[in-house]
Structure 1
């Protein structure tokens, strides 16, 4: 199933508009320079909501990590995709720690990117309390035990009635990447 996900990334240099970099990357990964891209927030209308693509039968998600813009794209029939990424090393995050961000106890950066990818695929994002999401390792709903399923996991997101399958993916050096697909 993770073979359905097309992942792309591009460096965002100082002074670059990271959204423009991501939109250009989306057009490249989709293979259609004429697609229309927007990401209105369902609550306030601001430009920080789930990515919408018009002009191609795909769903997409965008994230930023360190100096990178990352995009994930899947065919619409597969469901909604979510992607998240975080630098493996981040001094500010290390000082703050991750204890309590995903409920009681500690969490790892990998735990966080899995949860956020699932929440983005769910399309409600951080309107759902991240600490209520339960991620379980194992094949993310795939039908075979291929090498692509080695980093598979699945998530239970309260209020989402369908399956959210996820995978840890290879991305830019020094960056943890996870993507998820939610089916209704």
Structure 2
């Protein structure tokens, strides 16, 4: 995941427009740091066109930016991330993040997240990366830890994982950024898929840059 950048900020829990404004402000800041001072952001739904789909990044003239973006909201925070698309074999074709509070009284009183919070956040990140979300059964997402996933991920840092959706050709790799990269008390998972022409796990991830 060379080039991954993450930022987070406080965002109102119950105010959807304000949360979106906070997340998109974070994305604009990350992109400005990469030399894109006036990006156009949109998130049309692939099915209905409504403003609730994956975030798309473009220049003012409509030219797609060489970055993919993801946003998530959890525990009073907005979290945003960008990753370079790359080019040719090994280009990143899908990217998303998800986040959940490590402690949530309402969720935990209801029995917790299905399969545990770590599996849930990883699964949500993968489902968001497919652009189909919960139209896919979460049980169809298969996840394996990187250190036991086989030689194709042998050069990835410990703690990384890979995933696939049953019946689909795309393969995903992911990780949980930590420390100052993420809000306190929040678990964040990042998932991406590369051009299938490239060997999965072909490069060692660099240390992501974060902003708070």
Interval of TM-score (by shorter of Structure 1 and Structure 2): 0.7 to 0.9
TM-score of the two chains, using structure 2 as the length reference = 0.75
1:144 matched to 2:155: yes
Separation in 2 of the partners of 1:98 and 1:40? 31
Unaligned runs of 5+ in 2: 60-64, 87-91, 196-212
Task: Map 1:26-175; keep pairs closer than 5 Å.
Answer: 26-31=27-32, 32-55=36-59, 56-77=65-86, 78-98=92-112, 101=114, 107-138=115-146, 144-145=155-156, 149-170=157-178, 171-175=182-186
The runs of at least 4 aligned residues of structure 1 exceeding 3 Å deviation read 13-16, 139-143
TM-score of the two chains, using structure 1 as the length reference = 0.86
Task: Map 1:169-184; keep pairs closer than 5 Å.
Answer: 169-170=177-178, 171-184=182-195
Unaligned runs of 5+ in 1: 102-106
- Quote the RMSD (CA, aligned, Å): 2.0
What CA deviation, in whole Å up to 9, does each residue of 1:91-144 have, x standing for no partner? 110011247x4xxxxx11111110011111222222211111011111586563
* Aligned length, in residue pairs: 174
CA contact (8 A) 2:146 2:153 kept: no
Alpha-carbon spacing, 1:142–1:58, altered in 2? closer, same or farther (3 Å)? farther
